[in-house]
């Protein structure tokens, strides 16, 4: 701590020495009684308080000696510095706070006030947000125009949620009644549905929802998985689909070892989609979710490797990996999946061929339901019809058209799920014939494009 204080005192001294500045003469020239140097940017900027009026202004040395230029007129009871690449400084007038534009935003205008002095406190935070206090309550506002980004409902600066860029993209001036009701009795909550509310954050009161077993956050605007979910250790079902700004999955989720169902990525479990072309990143610690029975990743893989954690989940009953666009992948290694003794439902989109599936699918004797789309594999999915407990199968085939587009159709569909009767031998033979008929059409379409 002593070393840190020493450096704070040393920086202004070294700067004054390098610029050949006599601070006492500068104070006299400005008729000031106090100077605060911007020792971080080291560009000669300083604040000075007028001796007679006790008002602060901002100045910058222009050359060696005592030459300076006015940046902000001395009109303020208190004045902050502009941060690195910052766009504003905070000022105080008559015990109220506002903002003034950076002198480098428009050098033709000195000291343009952007936000009027109406706030009880202002505090700079990251992600381009400004924390503001009005009366007894805090919120985040946009420093450029004062727009409320999250509502004035928080009792202290520390109660504000983690700032994020999505708060600027999707401002909220109030909280939905559904969320306010949960906040009043968080510990009593068992199943929480906050889907499709365009939320950009979860209030910290929800960290007290320690008894919740199901949480649906689909269709919102979170920039990342909310950290307070980590307090919900009893959580069994978590739905995070259709949050297009979340790019990283892991961390807090991997601590929820009681999870049985997890829906993640850019599409929701009920089908609505917020489109994106970005790939997702998955934490390897998601392999800790040994109790997971249902995993749905509804996102585009663009040929990327399948996340390794999927292979290490031993109790999966339902595995759903679907894309938004038709790009195809072949990298799911069925032989590496640890859920061979438990998998009952498999949904994949979109396979380039069935070779790996045919070779290894016999290792999943409990498989009952299969939904797959393919870009037109020359190899038929013959091994699927050897599964002893299969009662539902649907295969969608995609045929290439001119350009890079595809047209799709259901080639095979046998649904005996009502009575859960296995697909008969006759249905299996019929399915193989339908596939051969489909492949004839694929070959004909490919010849026309050559």
Better pLDDT: 6 or 224: 224
Pick 328 or 289 by higher pLDDT.
289
111: left (phi over 0), alpha (psi -120 to 50) or beta: left
User: Out of 1-5, 223-227, 385-389, which region has the weakest mean confidence (pLDDT)?
Assistant: 1-5
pLDDT in the model for residue 3: 39
**Can you read off the two tokens belonging to residue 188?**
């009593």
Domain with CATH 3.80.10.10 in the chain: 176-449
Binned at pLDDT 50, 70 and 90, residue 37 comes out as very high
Give residue-wise pLDDT tens across range 158-193: 999 999 999 999 999 899 999 999 999 999 999 999
The whole-number pLDDT of residue 302 equals 47
Greatest Cα pair distance in the chain: 102
Do 217 and 199 form a contact (C-beta atoms < 8 A)? yes
Where is mean pLDDT largest: 76-85, 238-247, 334-343, 345-354? Answer: 334-343
How confident is the model over 366-371, as a mean pLDDT? 95
Give the helix, strand, coil percentages of the chain, each rounded to 5.
Answer: 25, 30, 45
54-63, 214-223, 230-239, 324-333: which range is least confident on average?
324-333
| Confidence check: pLDDT of 80 > 90 | yes
Mean pLDDT of 112-137: 95
Task: Return phi, psi of residue 86, to 5°.
Answer: -75, 160
Q: Where residue 209 falls among pLDDT bands split at 50, 70, 90?
A: very high
Nearest to 219 by CA among 270, 258, 144, 257: 270
Asked if the model's pLDDT at residue 329 lies above 70, the reply is: no
Taking domain 176-449, whether its CATH number is 3.40.50.450 is answered by no
Of the ranges 112-121, 250-259, 323-332, which one carries the lowest mean pLDDT score?
Answer: 323-332
The predicted model gives 46-56 an average pLDDT of 95
For residue 47, the model assigns a pLDDT of 96
CB 186 within 8 A of CB 208: yes
User: Would you state the pLDDT for residue 267?
Assistant: 63
Average pLDDT over residues 337-352: 91
Residue 277 has pLDDT above 60, yes or no: no
| Cα(381)–Cα(440) distance, integer angstroms | 15
| Residue percentage of the chain with pLDDT more than 90 | 56
The two tokens of residue 16 are 């004054």
Count of residues in the chain: 450
């Amino acid at each position: 701590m002593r070393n840190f204080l020493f450096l704070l005192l040393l920086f202004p001294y070294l700067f004054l020495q390098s610029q050949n500045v006599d601070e006492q003469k500068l104070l006299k020239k400005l008729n000031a009684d106090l100077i605060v140097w911007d020792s971080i940017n080291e560009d000669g900027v300083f604040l000075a308080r007028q001796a007679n009026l006790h008002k602060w202004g901002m100045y910058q040395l222009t050359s060696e000696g005592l030459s300076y230029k006015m940046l902000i007129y001395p009109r303020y009871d208190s004045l902050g510095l502009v941060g690195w690449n910052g766009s504003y400084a905070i000022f105080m007038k008559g015990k109220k706070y506002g903002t003034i534009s950076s002198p480098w935003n428009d050098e033709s205008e000195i000291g343009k006030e952007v936000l009027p002095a109406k706030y009880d406190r202002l505090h700079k935070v990251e992600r381009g947000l400004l924390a503001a206090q009005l009366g007894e309550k805090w919120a985040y506002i946009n420093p450029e125009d004062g727009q409320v980004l999250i509502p004035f409902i928080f009792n202290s600066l520390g109660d504000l949620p983690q700032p994020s860029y999505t708060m600027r993209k999707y401002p909220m001036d109030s909280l939905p009644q559904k969320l306010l009701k949960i906040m009043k009795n968080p510990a009593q909550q068992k199943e929480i549905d906050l889907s499709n509310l365009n939320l950009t954050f979860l209030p910290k009161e929800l960290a007290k929802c320690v008894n919740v077993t199901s949480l649906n956050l689909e269709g919102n605007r979170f920039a990342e998985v909310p950290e307070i979910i980590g307090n919900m250790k009893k959580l069994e079902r978590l739905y995070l689909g259709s949050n297009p700004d979340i790019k990283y999955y892991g961390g807090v989720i991997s601590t929820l070892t009681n999870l049985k169902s997890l829906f993640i990525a850019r599409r929701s479990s009920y089908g609505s989609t917020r489109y994106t072309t970005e790939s997702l990143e998955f934490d390897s610690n998601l392999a800790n979710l040994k109790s997971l029975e249902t995993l749905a990743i509804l996102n585009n893989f663009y040929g990327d490797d399948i996340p390794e954690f999927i292979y290490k989940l031993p109790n999966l009953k339902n595995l759903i990996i679907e894309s938004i666009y038709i790009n195809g992948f072949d990298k799911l290694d069925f032989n590496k999946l640890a859920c061979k003794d438990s998998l009952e439902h498999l949904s994949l989109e979109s396979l380039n061929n069935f070779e790996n599936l045919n070779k290894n699918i016999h290792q999943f004797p409990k498989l009952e339901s299969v939904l797959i789309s393919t870009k037109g594999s020359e190899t038929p999915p013959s091994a699927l019809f050897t599964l002893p407990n299969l009662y539902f199968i649907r295969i969608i085939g995609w045929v290439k058209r001119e350009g890079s587009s595809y047209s799709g159709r259901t080639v095979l569909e046998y649904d005996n799920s009502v009575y859960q009767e296995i697909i008969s031998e006759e249905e299996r033979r019929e399915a193989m014939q339908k596939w051969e008929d489909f492949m004839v059409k694929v070959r004909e379409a490919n010849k026309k494009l050559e």
